[in-house]
């Protein structure tokens, strides 16, 4: 979709979410075709592939037999993403290292309601993709929570996302700053996202400060370091480097087998060949 070419996605089951995704976002066959089957290609690290591919967007979406606009509208709720639907286990490995503590979520909940919003949590697996998208698009002014799938939906819908940092690194150990804070940036290359350093940063915002921030994010004023003017990408190696010298390259790219295949895939299929400055990847592709 980023290249403007039609892509064929092979899915192993007839109830795959890809069918709902295509229908909801009204993606034509000229851009996205779904077929049943399995492919024989080496595994792609799709989570980290998003570092090199812009989010697409649809001005209209189809939900429950009706068409809705994704344009900004006045909304009185906030979506709070807390976990993957399996509770707040504070295990050290993936994905639990990305979740805040119950005490921290309680601070967020209380502050959001004190500022005049209602809170909607979308943590149960029984909630369908269509239900989540409806609530985000029609009810939620912004999303706050862990680095994960609800944030990606917010990006596609162009809804501001306040992203809490990882609690531990992916090996379950305390991270070294700013590395731990920067982890989420690679997975959410979006200009409407604000990466919080901690819960206290958000709790310190009064209503005026929050409203200013949400307006700023709707205007693409996020703080993702991938879009910093001093961040560069080498089109030959796909290495991404911050102005401070911090290496922002997805770690999968350095793996011997999967990394080499992923690198070749990005170079062949994604629009990065002529990008000398990484912020040029600001373009959004409409479905």
Give 212-246 pLDDT, tens digit per residue. Answer: 999 999 999 999 998 888 888 887 888 888 888 88
Q: Is 173 exposed, middle or buried (0-12, 13-18, 19+ CB in 10 A)?
A: exposed
Mean pLDDT of all residues belonging to the chain: 86
Minimal CA–CA distance to 54: which of 220, 230, 241? 220
Tell how far CA 1 is from the center of its chain: 17
Residue 159 contacts residue 142 (beta carbons within 8 Å) = yes
Residues with Cβ within 8 Å of residue 78, at least 6 apart in sequence: 112, 117, 118, 119, 120, 140, 141, 142, 143, 144
Take residue 114 and report the two structure tokens written for it: 């004190």
Interval 60-75: pLDDT, tens: 999 999 999 999 999 9
Q: Residue 7: CB partners within 8 Å, gap ≥ 6?
A: 1, 31, 32, 33
Give CA–CA dist 41/65, Å, rounded. Answer: 36
Render pLDDT for 252-272 as a digit per residue (tens, 0 to 9): 887 877 788 888 888 887 766
Residue 1, classified by CB atoms within 10 Å of its CB into exposed (0-12), middle (13-18) or buried (19+), is middle
Classify domain 72-225 at the CATH topology level: Rossmann fold (3.40.50)
Query: What's the whole-model pTM score?
Result: 0.90
Look up residue 255 and give its DSSP letter. S
Residue with tokens 């592939």: 49
Total Cβ atoms within 10 A of residue 52: 26
Residue 32 has pLDDT above 60, yes or no: yes
- The residues spanned by each domain of the chain are 7-68+228-286, 72-225
């Amino acid at each position: 979709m980023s290249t403007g070419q039609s892509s064929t996605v092979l899915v192993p089951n007839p109830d795959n979410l890809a069918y709902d995704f295509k229908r909801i976002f009204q993606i034509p066959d000229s851009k996205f075709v779904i077929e049943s089957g399995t492919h024989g290609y080496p595994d792609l690290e799709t989570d980290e592939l998003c570092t090199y591919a812009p989010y697409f967007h649809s001005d209209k979406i189809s939900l429950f037999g009706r068409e809705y606009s994704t344009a900004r509208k006045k909304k009185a709720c906030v979506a709070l993403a807390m976990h993957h639907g399996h509770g707040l286990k504070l295990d050290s490995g993936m994905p639990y290292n990305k979740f805040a503590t119950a005490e921290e979520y309680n601070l967020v909940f209380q502050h959001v309601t004190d500022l005049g919003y209602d809170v909607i949590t979308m943590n149960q697996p029984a909630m369908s993709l269509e239900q989540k998208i409806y609530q985000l698009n029609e009810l939620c002014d912004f999303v706050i929570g862990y680095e994960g799938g609800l944030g990606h939906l917010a990006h596609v819908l162009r809804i501001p996302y306040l992203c809490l940092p990882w609690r531990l690194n992916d090996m379950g150990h305390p991270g070294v700053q700013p590395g731990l804070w920067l982890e989420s940036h690679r997975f959410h290359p979006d200009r409407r996202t604000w990466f919080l350093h901690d819960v206290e940063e958000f709790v310190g915002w009064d209503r005026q400060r929050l409203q200013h921030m949400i307006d700023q994010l709707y205007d693409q004023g996020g703080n993702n370091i991938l879009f910093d003017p001093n961040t560069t990408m080498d089109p030959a190696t796909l290495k991404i480097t911050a102005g401070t010298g911090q290496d922002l390259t997805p770690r999968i790219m350095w793996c011997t087998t999967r990394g080499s295949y992923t690198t070749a895939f990005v170079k062949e299929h994604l629009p990065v060949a002529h990008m000398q400055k990484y912020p040029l990847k600001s373009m959004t592709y409409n479905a």
